[in-house]
Chains A and B, each alone.
Chain A
Amino acid sequence: MTTLVSRRTLLKGGLAVGAGLAVGFPVVRAARGVARAESPGVFAPKQWLRIDRDGVVTIVNSVPEMGQGSLTTTPMIIADELDVVLDQVRVEQAPANPGLYKNPVTGNQSYGGSRGVRDHLAMWRKAAAAAREMLMQAAASEWAVPVESVETEPGAVVHRPTGRRLLYGQLVDRAQALPVPQDPKLKTPDKFRYIGKHVHRRDTPEKITGRGIYGVDVRLPGMLVASIERCPVLGGKVKSFDGTAAKRVRGVKHVVQVSNGIAVVADGFWSALQGRKALQVTWDEGPTAQVSSAMIAREYEAAAKQPGQVARNDGDAERVLAAGGRVHEAVYQVPFLEHACMEPMNATAQVTPEACVIWAPTQNPGGTQATAARLTGLPPEKVTVHTTLLGGGFGRRGEVDFITDAVETAKAVGAPVKVMWTREDDITHGFYRPATYNSFRAALDANGMPAAWRTRMVGPGILIQKGRVKAGEVDPAAVEAVRNMPYDVPNLRIEWTNKDFGIPIGFWRSVGASQNGFIIESFIDELAHLAGRDPYEYRRALLGKSPRHKAVLELAATKASWGAPLPPGRGRGIAVVFSYGSYAATVAEVSVAADGAVRVHRLVAAIDPGLAVNPDQVKAQMEGGAVYALTATFYGRITIDRGRVQQSNFNDYPMSRINEMPVVDVHILDSGEAPGGLGEPGVPTVAPAVCNAIYVVTGKRIRTLPIDREELKRV
């Protein structure tokens, strides 16, 4: 049926498994009338692993692999608690089946928010431990010895007093008949074989040989390839079109209208692109055609002059600010940003009257299934979703617009279709990180410490735009890392005003914290300098109620030799932000050339993720988060002109490159707390640490991103 990698084609065999310890598929067992230990939607340990009679252990990874290493981390956790050799287990990507594979915290089968490990760790460990106890019980029964007298070694149960040993595969049939323990005993951390150790990534071989299959690499018999012409104005629709000339282009097979534009369906991508050029489309541009960046900025500024909705209110900030004294004001602004995943959006679909099959690089298998079910009228269980490797995700691939493209096009032409976006489609039709405007006002007390602080934030709310939070409420994504800012300020008021001009917005790596870390950590730095205090010591003094912030701040400062002399022309800046369950701090070391060019020499980062399951990959995520943040610090800006995104490719929406890469030195603080996220927490501290260092070097305070080199030019 497909040329996809084996771990997905294996899945079919897995579902049909009758022999073997089907610790995997309670639905299948229920269908056969076998009693189940759990009801659907409740904690069900068994869909995550299975062992067959040959002893082959298969671990089902529900978290899409988008670079974070889930194809390694998920099996590490399960193999450790099951007590099997990691190199010998097979790993499959879970199908879309929210009943079985939903995230137990969010309740859906969609992955964002750095939730891979932190939301699943406890459940996976428990599932694997339950399976291990069942295998031990099976062996104990076989040998007629108390279960307390047996133990496991990798892949086998042993009875030391008699030297007897049975491989897991030999215990499958007996174990299968046992009830699933509800409260299995977990390993103590000192017994971990993999968790907390440096484990090499399992997916490297397929990623360095070109064998790995991403969405764009899917090939099916009879498959056509489509490219969709979209309205240049965001949200615009097709009014009319003429596909006659496009259809005459060599290789073009069909021209069809779909929700997101006109799909040119051809024998290959190049032909589809040539067909697109020959299309004639008249657009109904819609209301967004009236929207431009300059207008948005004016509206934001006007809105910030009025009180917003109160997101937090401690004490009476307005009264203290009105009393005067040393009052400081500043305005911080950040632009819209696009994710720019290296693999442009794409999906492949095959739609028949009976079923729909989708191959997609998606962060959202559950949403993909639901979308396809809605578009085809099929029940969800008739929609199969194969999650391929993702060429970057960063939040963009939680959306389902590219799924809609593929399903509608495939349905319209009656053949399997891969819809591929160009880079230009990708940059101009994204779900952008919100642009925001933030005014700050603070009063310092006699000791220079903040006595009152007010932040007024203006921008659109992602959760409100997506209908997940009611309009009129404070959007939690908009105010994250501001509402819960850690500094001990007795009179603190945070306000937010929802200003949404219909530009599609979405979750961009670290979401609200991506910009709010910058504004809070820059403004606190301003106050430190105003007070004549060392910015590190000033923060420490205000973190009395936030010990985990303080600990990572101190670790970063220590490792960066904060306060030690630097070569002439260099300066340090520091920042600390909590996001997505983890605490992170960064010290940046920068210099600024006479032409305003900033060189970031070194970033020293500290992270407290509670538990670092694969420490080397924790570091990798911090290194990568730093680069993502540096791109936003120096380059990232999406602007809108009459509803059109003005950037289109890496020439006008540039990315940081290897020649700009600083040394990134990551230190992990294993606090033993509940596990936090890792994909996102490396991002928020970088821009403020860099800009705070620039202030030290130049005396210029950066309050708008990306950094304008002209402002840093010395005459």
Chain B
Amino acid sequence: MISLTVNGTRHQIDVQPEMPLLWVIRETLGLTGTKYACGMALCGACTVHLDGAPVRACVTPASAAAGKRVTTIEGLSDKGDHPVQRARTEVDVPQCGYCQPGQIMSAAALLTSTPSPTDADIDGAMSGNICRCGTYQRIRAAIHRAAALGKGGAR
């Protein structure tokens, strides 16, 4: 039995301790917003927050999350209105959208640690997230916009 807190709810889960957190989130808990795409921490589609820090759930054993706070895309905001999400709507970032939950979780973590990121900060924090549709230009624009929104710069 592993004890996990996911999006504020505590769960007692009976899984093999080496099972990646990704499958606990997606299959055991049914939170399918977090995506599988590589299984080797190469693409960032499975990014969630573990005690606030971005991790790749596909290589994080469930046991490593025991006793910690896990935040998934479903728990990032109540109404999909985190500044990173609002900015994405304004800029029309997603195309297929499959990588976006992971991208958003990486971007949200970046803005928590670096509220006004430079382009270099964005490159550093976001280059682990692949978008095959190629929305990078808009991801960058939306992160800058989210930084402004986060500071009450919304108009």
In the complex, whether A372 has a CB less than 8 A from a CB of chain B is: no
Chain A contacts for B38, CB-based, 8 A: 423, 649-650
In the complex, whether A209 has a CB less than 8 A from a CB of chain B is: yes
In the complex, whether A626 has a CB less than 8 A from a CB of chain B is: yes
Determine the distance from Cα of A616 to Cα of B133 in the docked complex, in whole angstroms.
Answer: 15
In the complex, whether B131 has a CB less than 8 A from a CB of chain A is: yes
Give the one of B31, B37, B80, B126 with max A CB within 10 A: B37
Chain A contacts for B43, CB-based, 8 A: 342, 650, 655
Determine the distance from Cα of A295 to Cα of B134 in the docked complex, in whole angstroms.
Answer: 34
In the complex, whether A658 has a CB less than 8 A from a CB of chain B is: yes
Contact with B along A194-207 (1 / 0, CB 8 A): 00000011011111
Residues 47-80 of A contacting B (Cβ, < 8 Å)? 65-69
In the complex, whether B152 has a CB less than 8 A from a CB of chain A is: no
Chain A contacts for B30, CB-based, 8 A: 219
Are A216 and B94 in contact, CB atoms less than 8 angstroms apart?
A: no
In the complex, whether A269 has a CB less than 8 A from a CB of chain B is: yes
A-side interface residues, number (CB < 8 Å): 61
Are B137 and A213 in contact, CB atoms less than 8 angstroms apart?
A: no
Give the one of B30, B96, B97 with max A CB within 10 A: B96
Determine the distance from Cα of A651 to Cα of B41 in the docked complex, in whole angstroms.
Answer: 10
Determine the distance from Cα of A210 to Cα of B75 in the docked complex, in whole angstroms.
Answer: 10
Are B35 and A213 in contact, CB atoms less than 8 angstroms apart?
A: no
Determine the distance from Cα of A628 to Cα of B27 in the docked complex, in whole angstroms.
Answer: 31
In the complex, whether B39 has a CB less than 8 A from a CB of chain A is: yes
Contact among A203, A269, A624, A663 with B133 in the assembled complex (CB-CB below 8 Å): A624
Contacts A207-B100, A225-B27, A659-B123 hold; do A391 and B35 have CB atoms under 8 A apart?
yes
How many residue pairs at the A-B interface have CB separations less than 8 Å? 179
In the complex, whether B33 has a CB less than 8 A from a CB of chain A is: yes
Are A422 and B39 in contact, CB atoms less than 8 angstroms apart?
A: yes
In the complex, whether A664 has a CB less than 8 A from a CB of chain B is: yes
Are B134 and A627 in contact, CB atoms less than 8 angstroms apart?
A: yes
Contacts A342-B45, A658-B140, A659-B123 hold; do A209 and B74 have CB atoms under 8 A apart?
yes
Contact with A along B95-133 (1 / 0, CB 8 A): 111111100100000000000000000111011111111
Are A661 and B137 in contact, CB atoms less than 8 angstroms apart?
A: yes
Please name the residue on chain B nearest to A251 by beta carbon: B16
Contacts A201-B94, A207-B100, A210-B73 hold; do A270 and B20 have CB atoms under 8 A apart?
yes
In the complex, whether A250 has a CB less than 8 A from a CB of chain B is: yes
Determine the distance from Cα of A423 to Cα of B132 in the docked complex, in whole angstroms.
Answer: 14
Please name the residue on chain A nearest to B30 by beta carbon: A219
Please name the residue on chain B nearest to A628 by beta carbon: B134
Please name the residue on chain A nearest to B23 by beta carbon: A270
In the complex, whether A344 has a CB less than 8 A from a CB of chain B is: yes
Chain A contacts for B36, CB-based, 8 A: 216, 269, 344, 420
Contact among B16, B37, B85, B136 with A342 in the assembled complex (CB-CB below 8 Å): B37
11 new A-B contacts at CB < 8 Å, known A216-B32, A649-B40: A204-B94, A208-B88, A343-B37, A423-B37, A616-B92, A624-B95, A624-B133, A627-B133, A650-B130, A657-B128, A659-B124
Query: CB within 8 Å of A: which residues of B?
Result: 16, 19-20, 23, 27-28, 30-40, 42-43, 45, 72-74, 80, 85, 88-89, 92-101, 104, 122-124, 126-140
Q: Give 10 pairs: A residue, B residue, CB < 8 Å, sorted on A.
A: A69-B95, A204-B88, A206-B97, A219-B30, A341-B98, A623-B134, A650-B42, A650-B43, A651-B40, A658-B123
